[in-house]
Structure 1
Amino acid sequence: MNLAYKIKDIFMKHNGIYSELIIKIILNNKGNMVSQTKISRIMKIFKLYSVIRVKKMNRKLKEVKKIIHGPNHINRNWSLYSKNELWVTNVTYILFNKKFAYLSVIKDQILGL
């Protein structure tokens, strides 16, 4: 049996799903050493194209989180506040030994002036 007919037979037997690579593996297991390029050329002559299944993506869109800022009661008017009445804080992360360390700083704003 001719190689082209073997390829066509394998392709039709499996409902046109098998690609050149799988047909090559089947033929090599049967003792016919054939390259994938040669199988591809023969399939192109016979107009045999394997079915390409599209992967279904069932992804939900991420909700956009709105950043809600609290009201600005200070308005950079530091003179209205006394000691230990107005504190400012910040949280940041630092890369340390290939891991993140979190740093939280709290400062009495009046003493910082």
Structure 2
Amino acid sequence: MNRLGETAKQIREARGLSQKRAADLLDISPVHLCNVEKGKALPSIELAARYRDVFDADLFVVTWCLHGDVNALPAPVRDAAQSLASAFRSQLGLFDRGEVHAESKDAKESSI
């Protein structure tokens, strides 16, 4: 499983969604979502944009926050990158063990 697929699965599972329901929300087939989550297909830019719209989470940024190596960055940007990762983890409820704990957009809207 590639890191993007792993993150896509974590976001979906954290929201308690089946692959079928998440695929419906993302307007893709369940087979394609399964392939993305298993690392057999990479998400397109359009699909990444739908993740942002549907789940309020940027797939690439969340992946970097969960799996990125801040120490590999040049020294001048390391502190800024660590601050960004920390803020993003806090905003989405991400924890070091790689779990995503954030309310789904539907849950937020239904509680309003």
The TM-score range, normalised by the shorter chain, is under 0.3
Question: Structure 2 length as normaliser, TM-score?
Answer: 0.24
Structure with greater Cα Rg: 1
Q: Larger strand proportion, structure 1 or 2? A: 1
